[in-house]
Amino acid sequence: MPLEYINPADLPVPETYTQVVVGTGSKLVFISGQEPEDIHGKLVGRGDLAAQARQVYANLGRALAAAGAGPEHVARITIYVVNYDRDQCLPIIEEARKTLFGDHRPADVVLGVASLSPGYLVEVDAIAVLD
């Protein structure tokens, strides 16, 4: 496996991500921000963060597969959330995230943003490493 996972002893051990991921593979895959859209480019789940997050992670899985990668190859994700409130949003996003990643814990960052495309509440991009 081209990824090494490190949670340093002097940092907290996160539940859903890893503090440090070292990639040693020979192929990098950069996935553009996946939005909560169906195959026709239509918004899924207007006003519903949970529905949008599920769609985003499903789209991310499809994008990875198109590159010959799987969730286990993802080293890092960036999560963009409109009007981010950690206590309200994070549990919803983490539940959706587990539908794709299960126990895999890539490094991540969550960014609160003022807006995305109109009606869109969440977007996720990824970097994967393959042998």
In whole angstroms, what separates CA 51 from the centre of its chain? Answer: 15
CATH for 3-130 is 3.30.1330.40
3-class SS at 57?
A: helix
The sign of the dihedral angle between the CA atoms of 10, 80, 99, 90 is positive
The pLDDT tens digits along the chain (131 residues) read 689 999 999 999 998 999 999 998 889 999 999 999 999 999 999 999 999 999 999 999 999 999 999 999 999 999 999 999 999 999 999 999 999 999 999 999 999 999 999 999 999 999 999 98
Tell me how far apart the alpha carbons of residues 120 and 117 are, in angstroms, rounded to a whole number. 5
Residue 86 tokens, joined: 């950690």
